[in-house]
A and B are shown apart, each in its own frame.
Chain A
Amino acid sequence: MAIRETNARHEALGLDDDDLRRMHYYMLLARRVDERSWILNRQGKAAFVISCQGQEGAQVGAACNLRPGNDYLYPYYRDSGMTMLLGQTPRDQFLSLLGKEEDPNSGGRQMPGHYSDRKLNIVTASAPVGVQYPQAAGTALAFKMRGEDGVVLVCGGEASTSGGDWHEAMNFAGIHDLPVVFFVENNVYAISVPAKFQVAGSIAKRAEGYGFPGHEVDGNDVLAVYEVAKEAFERARAGAGPTLIEAKTYRMTAHSSDDDDRRYREREEIEEWRQKDPIIRFEKYLIENGVLEEAERDEISDRIKAEVAEASEYAENAPFAEPDDVLTGVYAEG
């Protein structure tokens, strides 16, 4: 009986077994790329790591709704699950991590996690938190002005809602019913500051004040995130306007490789969230529902491991850009 109920869950969302396998693959891929990145950092090969760990379910659940190259994505620095789902590869991630010439985000100019890909409509990201929101609203306005059905997905952590840019963009999107999905990955920490000192009341409920729906969702449940995001994308595509989604999740690593989170949070708290790991939860669902056999899961895991090892090696051996490249490409010609 339980199985039939859970079965109905993804089927009701219009997802077949291949869709679920694809979601699982990218969640696990993002996790393994991330883990490998930390190893490269500890080996002294990668200067800086910023992680997606714990947020893969939220990222994949939301980004599944994007049509690559048509819709626009404004990711934030943890969204490797999104950028790989859209078409960036593990090689791309490691090339960026190591600052190599072939890094598709910036050719070695930016820190890792500052995504950019013109052909995938991933708009170049930076480090100041929250600046992406007004930009996303503008991109959505362009779609609306031309009568196109493109949707903009814009992401940030819970602290990105504290500054003015988020509110200015929410207000503007509400005024003009813009086709934008505000996706807040509430991972509880902004470096060391916990959400209780970052967020008054509820992020999701703020949408009501701006005149459009806001949903709070279990961010570690990929199907739950997919469900609310699907509705948000459909609403945007239909011209009905923006939606805010607050995905409640958890940052399982330190803020970055330069941060020591033992200074500000208890190990027990992390352990509690490990029990709610979105990948473990999804694998349990897949196995219970006969989508994946345990052996098949192990085979996928091995395949990803090999893929990650190959990609890492490729990037390690890839050349840096010429030093003089730093002097080029300041202004566009034309």
Chain B
Amino acid sequence: MATKNLLQAIHEGLAEEMRADESIMVLGEDVGRAGGVFRVTQGLVEEFGTTRVMDTPLAESLIVGSAIGLSVNGMRPVAEIQFGDFIPPAFDQIINEAAKFYYRSNGAWNCPLTIRAPYGVVPGGALYHSQSIEAWFCNTPGLKVVAPTFPADAKAMIKSAIRDPNPVLFLEHKRTYRLIKEEVPENGHEVRLGKARVHREGADITVVAYGLMLYAALEVANKLSEEQGVETEVVEPRTLYPLDNETILDSAKKTGKVLVVSEANLTGSFSGEIAAIVAREAFEWLDGPVTRLGAPDVPAAAFARPMMDRFLPSAEEIEAAMLELARY
């Protein structure tokens, strides 16, 4: 079994699906000869040609809108939005169109469509190559929003997304693309959408996190275990919408203390939804306040590195929040 990083794993998932089913195609800006700005689609155009790996004009509404039209005529398109920050022109096509096709046609039309979008803070990315866009979409019944963080999960979930009969927004944290390598099965590994993952078991506190913050939470959890004997259960939603409430609530009931960490602007972020569910459904088991950590309510990360670092929840802040909860 080969070890792969996140972007290699997504690439492999795409390539395997395209080999197995010729209705599957990718389209977006620079996905062809350039192989995508992050190289996720590198080599696909050589194997599958310029139609199934189509460079589109720089027009996000067209990219998603045409993918909808492809999906209702026998194709299974994977549309790439180069950076999540540039997805707003496609908002109408995602929110009002793809997500509502099935419901509004009373089940006659569905959109088997995957939209890949890199998100999250990255050095040098600044305001328009950094945003966490998940909350914009997690209020949209009919759409699925997934955000896997580990390579093996990401490969399995891009396949699940492609095979899903519904539109799926597939979010990839840019800074996790090359962060780690892990063993990624060639074939057969399946992760169904809508299922969270418990990365680390623990009896004292629960941390719910995804993206880059998940790695930070796991590191702090190991440190607190070694240094202070605090045992943290770390839960990754993997699918944000619809959310796997059960796995999160099971953990909340076990530890009685829940911290949600993401790098989205805190107010109105999806972590608020997770916190609300825990506060209501696990109330009787809670021994401390449901706590959230996120970015400050400023527009987005800055270009200059010191300001960018200040924007993100730091390992120290995460540790302090975890310890505060543990001491309740």
Contacts A142-B69, A171-B57 given; indicate if A330 touches B62 (C-beta within 8 A): no
Residues of chain B lying within 8 A (CB to CB) of residue A116: 104-106, 108-109
**A168 B59 Cβ-Cβ under 8 A:** yes
Q: How many residues belonging to B are interface residues under a CB distance threshold of 8 Å?
A: 42
Residues of chain B lying within 8 A (CB to CB) of residue A141: 66, 69-70
Residues of chain A lying within 8 A (CB to CB) of residue B67: 138
Inter-chain CA distance A142–B68, complex, in Å, is: 11
Q: Which of B68, B69, B74, B75 has the most CB of A within 10 A?
A: B69
Does A105 belong to the interface (CB within 8 Å)? yes
Inter-chain CA distance A152–B51, complex, in Å, is: 19
Q: Distance in Å from the Cβ of A212 to the closest Cβ of chain B? A: 16
Residues of chain A lying within 8 A (CB to CB) of residue B65: 131, 133-135, 137-138, 165, 168-169
Which A303-334 residues sit within 8 Å CB-CB of chain B?
329-334
**Which of B88-96, B211-219, B270-278, B283-291 participates in binding chain A?**
B88-96
**B73 A139 Cβ-Cβ under 8 A:** yes
Q: Distance in Å from the Cβ of B107 to the closest Cβ of chain A? A: 5
Which B23-77 residues sit within 8 Å CB-CB of chain A?
25, 51-52, 56-57, 59, 61-62, 64-75, 77
Does A257 belong to the interface (CB within 8 Å)? no
Smallest Cβ-Cβ distance to B64: which chain A residue = A134
Q: Which of the residues A123, A145, A175 comes within 8 Å of B75, measured between beta carbons?
A: A145
Residues of chain B lying within 8 A (CB to CB) of residue A171: 57, 59, 62
Inter-chain CA distance A110–B77, complex, in Å, is: 27
Inter-chain CA distance A139–B74, complex, in Å, is: 9
Smallest Cβ-Cβ distance to A178: which chain B residue = B66
Residues of chain B lying within 8 A (CB to CB) of residue A42: none
Contacts A106-B104, A141-B66, A168-B62 given; indicate if A126 touches B97 (C-beta within 8 A): yes
Contacts A139-B72, A141-B69 given; indicate if A134 touches B93 (C-beta within 8 A): yes
Contacts A116-B109, A128-B92, A169-B62 given; indicate if A138 touches B68 (C-beta within 8 A): yes
Smallest Cβ-Cβ distance to A143: which chain B residue = B73
**A126 B96 Cβ-Cβ under 8 A:** yes
Interface string of A12-34 (1 = CB under 8 A from B): 00000000000000000000000
**A329 B51 Cβ-Cβ under 8 A:** no
Does B86 belong to the interface (CB within 8 Å)? no
Does B120 belong to the interface (CB within 8 Å)? no
Q: Distance in Å from the Cβ of A267 to the closest Cβ of chain B? A: 36
**A128 B72 Cβ-Cβ under 8 A:** no
**B165 A168 Cβ-Cβ under 8 A:** no
Inter-chain CA distance A164–B61, complex, in Å, is: 8
Inter-chain CA distance A331–B59, complex, in Å, is: 27
Q: How many residues belonging to A are interface residues under a CB distance threshold of 8 Å?
A: 44
Inter-chain CA distance A168–B52, complex, in Å, is: 20
Inter-chain CA distance A329–B101, complex, in Å, is: 10
Smallest Cβ-Cβ distance to A114: which chain B residue = B104
Does A107 belong to the interface (CB within 8 Å)? yes
Contacts A134-B66, A168-B57, A171-B57 given; indicate if A330 touches B102 (C-beta within 8 A): yes
Contacts A126-B97, A137-B62, A145-B51 given; indicate if A333 touches B165 (C-beta within 8 A): yes
Which A99-140 residues sit within 8 Å CB-CB of chain B?
103, 105-107, 109-110, 114, 116-118, 123-124, 126, 128, 131, 133-140
**B141 A137 Cβ-Cβ under 8 A:** no
Smallest Cβ-Cβ distance to B163: which chain A residue = A334
Smallest Cβ-Cβ distance to A105: which chain B residue = B105
Does A48 belong to the interface (CB within 8 Å)? no
Does A196 belong to the interface (CB within 8 Å)? no
Does A172 belong to the interface (CB within 8 Å)? yes
**B165 A332 Cβ-Cβ under 8 A:** yes
Residues of chain A lying within 8 A (CB to CB) of residue B166: 331-332
Does A4 belong to the interface (CB within 8 Å)? no
Residues of chain B lying within 8 A (CB to CB) of residue A332: 102, 107, 110, 165-166
Q: Distance in Å from the Cβ of A225 to the closest Cβ of chain B? A: 24
Contacts A142-B73, A143-B73 given; indicate if A330 touches B103 (C-beta within 8 A): yes
Smallest Cβ-Cβ distance to B74: which chain A residue = A142
Q: Which of A135, A136, A146 has the most CB of B within 10 A?
A: A135
Does A72 belong to the interface (CB within 8 Å)? yes
**A135 B109 Cβ-Cβ under 8 A:** no
**A128 B96 Cβ-Cβ under 8 A:** yes
**B107 A329 Cβ-Cβ under 8 A:** yes
**A165 B61 Cβ-Cβ under 8 A:** yes
Q: Which of the residues B64, B92, B103, B144 comes within 8 Å of A329, measured between beta carbons?
A: B103
**B66 A137 Cβ-Cβ under 8 A:** yes
Residues of chain A lying within 8 A (CB to CB) of residue B165: 331-334
Does B4 belong to the interface (CB within 8 Å)? no
Q: Distance in Å from the Cβ of A127 to the closest Cβ of chain B? A: 8
Q: Which of the residues B57, B62, B75, B108 comes within 8 Å of A165, measured between beta carbons?
A: B62
Contacts A135-B97, A141-B69, A331-B166 given; indicate if A172 touches B62 (C-beta within 8 A): yes
Does B292 belong to the interface (CB within 8 Å)? no
Contacts A124-B101, A164-B61, A334-B165 given; indicate if A107 touches B106 (C-beta within 8 A): yes
Q: Distance in Å from the Cβ of B236 to the closest Cβ of chain A? A: 22
Inter-chain CA distance A150–B75, complex, in Å, is: 15
Inter-chain CA distance A66–B103, complex, in Å, is: 26
Residues of chain A lying within 8 A (CB to CB) of residue B72: 72, 123, 135, 139
Q: List 9 A-B contacts (CB under 8 A).
A: A72-B72, A72-B73, A126-B97, A140-B69, A141-B66, A142-B74, A165-B92, A171-B62, A332-B166
Residue ranges of B at the interface with A (Cβ–Cβ < 8 Å): 25, 51-52, 56-57, 59, 61-62, 64-75, 77, 89, 92-93, 96-97, 100-110, 141-142, 144, 165-166
A134-B93, A165-B62, A329-B102 given; 4 more Cβ-contact pairs under 8 Å: A116-B104, A139-B69, A141-B66, A172-B66
- Give the 7 A-B CB pairs with smallest separation, nearest first: A138-B69, A134-B65, A138-B66, A107-B106, A142-B73, A135-B69, A168-B62
